[in-house]
Chain A
Amino acid sequence: DTGVSQNPRHKITKRGQNVTFRCDPISEHNRLYWYRQTLGQGPEFLTYFQNEAQLEKSRLLSDRFSAERPKGSFSTLEIQRTEQGDSAMYLCASSSGGGRNTIYFGEGSWLTVV
């Protein structure tokens, strides 16, 4: 069990550029979540996968955001035409089920849009 891994840990990009973050969940965890966290706030839910199926998307996930989990293992979160308001930490998490099952978080990917 190597934990949830996220890459890159930090990304600085110019406004208008595209960025992609990768998340490798804990092995055999079928559920994968993306959250966004800004300074002084709690994490806000973006989207959720069960295996390769994207089952839920928050209204926070605008058309510029797309997430995939092609083989039910790793996931990518792409932000197109970045805006300064996208600056945040993007957290990935995974779990082996719902309800009381522990959701394990990665260390996050910090995005700064300049």
Chain B
Amino acid sequence: AQTVTQSQPEMSVQEAETVTLSCTYDTSESDYYLFWYKQPPSRQMILVIRQEAYKQQNATENRFSVNFQKAAKSFSLKISDSQLGDAAMYFCAYRGNSGNTPLVFGKGTRLSVIA
């Protein structure tokens, strides 16, 4: 079974600074997708960024980028120019590409942004 591990329960960053959230995963599949989701307090979970495993180029969405290391099974999220609105729980998630596989989530990292 696939597992996702987020080793940082909590992180903090100064406003306008950069922070990196870590994620590792375990799978025997070669084709899959990785996601970072953001869950603000009492708000719904929204997709931040996704990475296809077959792509070597790291995904980027505005201030959010990933460092995808397929051999190391590592998928970290970098948030640049952090803003107060970035404060939230961040979940790393894995999804296989075979049939009906659901999203498998890590336990999350709570990010605080200090003004």
B104 adjacent to A40 (CB under 8 Å): no
Contacts between chains A and B (CB distance < 8 A), count: 57
B52 adjacent to A45 (CB under 8 Å): no
Within 8 A of A (CB), among B32-84: 33, 37, 42-47, 50, 52
Asked if A42 is at the interface of the complex by the 8 Å CB criterion, the answer is yes
Interface size on B, residues (CB 8 A): 27
Asked if A102 is at the interface of the complex by the 8 Å CB criterion, the answer is yes
A107 adjacent to B107 (CB under 8 Å): no
B45 adjacent to A91 (CB under 8 Å): yes
Interface size on A, residues (CB 8 A): 24
Asked if B25 is at the interface of the complex by the 8 Å CB criterion, the answer is no
Q: Is the interface of B mostly helix, strand, loop or mixed?
A: loop
Asked if A56 is at the interface of the complex by the 8 Å CB criterion, the answer is yes
Smallest beta-carbon distance A36→chain B, Å: 11
Asked if A85 is at the interface of the complex by the 8 Å CB criterion, the answer is no
Q: Can you name the residue of chain B whose Cβ is closest to the Cβ of A48?
A: B102
Indicate which residue in B97, B102, B108 contacts A42 across the interface (CB closer than 8 Å): B108
Asked if A25 is at the interface of the complex by the 8 Å CB criterion, the answer is no
B105 adjacent to A42 (CB under 8 Å): yes
Interface residue ranges, B against A (CB under 8 Å): 4, 6, 9, 33, 37, 42-47, 50, 52, 91, 93, 95, 97, 99-108
Interface pairs (18), CB distance under 8 Å: A3-B44, A42-B105, A42-B107, A43-B91, A44-B105, A45-B102, A50-B100, A56-B100, A56-B102, A98-B95, A98-B100, A99-B95, A100-B33, A100-B52, A102-B50, A105-B46, A106-B44, A107-B42
